[in-house]
Amino acid sequence: MNILIITAHPDPTSLTHSLSSVATDQLKLDGHKVRVSDLYAMNWKSAVDHDDFPALPASERLKVGPASKQAYSTGSLTEDVVQEQEKLLWADAVIIAFPLWWFSMPAILKGWVERTLSYGFGYGRGAHTDTHWGDRYGEGLMAGKRAMLCVMIGGWEPHYSPRGVNGPVDDILFPMNHGVLYYPGFTVLPSFLVYRSDRLDEAGYNIAAERMRGRMKNLFTAEPIPYRMQNGGDYLIPSMQLRPELNPRITGFAAHLKPTDEENS
């Protein structure tokens, strides 16, 4: 199988890069093909601006959505973006490794998302009808591919617990797992997390590395996060609200997970 690993850390000796190397070695040992997009080493351009759309006249107002759609449909996206899109099409699974900075991904990685998942590629696909509201949330160009976040977290695990001061880690990662990965169709695996990442001693690192090897061995057999498909009947169209009889006492992010008892009912 083909695996793309995307890393976003400015220090090549960081835990992010070290564990990404562990993942790469294990995947290759198991016979997979691996490609790596090291965004800092690539000097990835993170800001979306007029230069991203060479065919757009310099005097014309930049409306990013329409400009992105036009550039993708006419094959005029910049070469760096095209190369990353080709890697995503090649991959059977995508692993995104980064430190959690200010409760989100580093700016360079956010810029990779904004520029690579362009209109027509990552979003804006499929018809909108009374029964189907575009190809997204479980459908789309990335459908059939797996994806997983590998997140280095500086804080303590209890701080990110259901009653922790920072909020539940699943809620913090929801915009990335559900919004960035599930939206364009990826099957999303539970995230690989390392807490107190800048304070790991050798024993702690060895434990994290062994966990990473285990996750790589199970990359194509692990159970994914059970997100609800948008066009699978659970949502009302066009309001896109969850049907009132489903998870009636749950609101927020957790409502978009399908409980095991519901699957078996």
Letter for the amino acid at 198?
Answer: D
Residue 263 pLDDT class (50, 70, 90 cuts)? low
Average pLDDT of every residue of the chain: 95
Q: What are phi and psi of 138, to 5 degrees?
A: 105, -15
Residue 142 is predicted with a pLDDT of: 97
Provide the 3-class DSSP secondary structure of residue 171: helix
b (16+ CB within 10 A) / e for 53-72: beebeeeeeeeeeebbbbbb
Residue-wise pLDDT tens digits, 111-161? 999 999 999 999 999 999 999 999 999 999 999 999 999 999 999 999 999
Give the mean pLDDT of 233-253. Answer: 92
Letter for the amino acid at 111?
Answer: G
Residue-wise pLDDT tens digits, 32-47? 999 999 999 999 999 9
Residue-wise pLDDT tens digits, 76-105? 999 999 999 999 999 999 999 999 999 999
Residue-wise pLDDT tens digits, 187-208? 999 999 999 998 999 999 999 9
pTM for this model (two decimals): 0.93
**Is-contact 225 190, C-beta < 8 A?**
yes
Residue 264 is predicted with a pLDDT of: 47
Residue 261 is predicted with a pLDDT of: 66
Query: By mean pLDDT, which of 13-22, 132-141, 167-176, 254-263 is the weakest?
Result: 254-263
| Rounded CA separation 205/10 (Å) | 20
Residue 58 is predicted with a pLDDT of: 87
Residue 12 is predicted with a pLDDT of: 96
Query: By mean pLDDT, which of 42-46, 166-170, 187-191, 260-264 is the weakest?
Result: 260-264
Residue 114 is predicted with a pLDDT of: 96
Q: Is 97 exposed, middle or buried (0-12, 13-18, 19+ CB in 10 A)?
A: buried
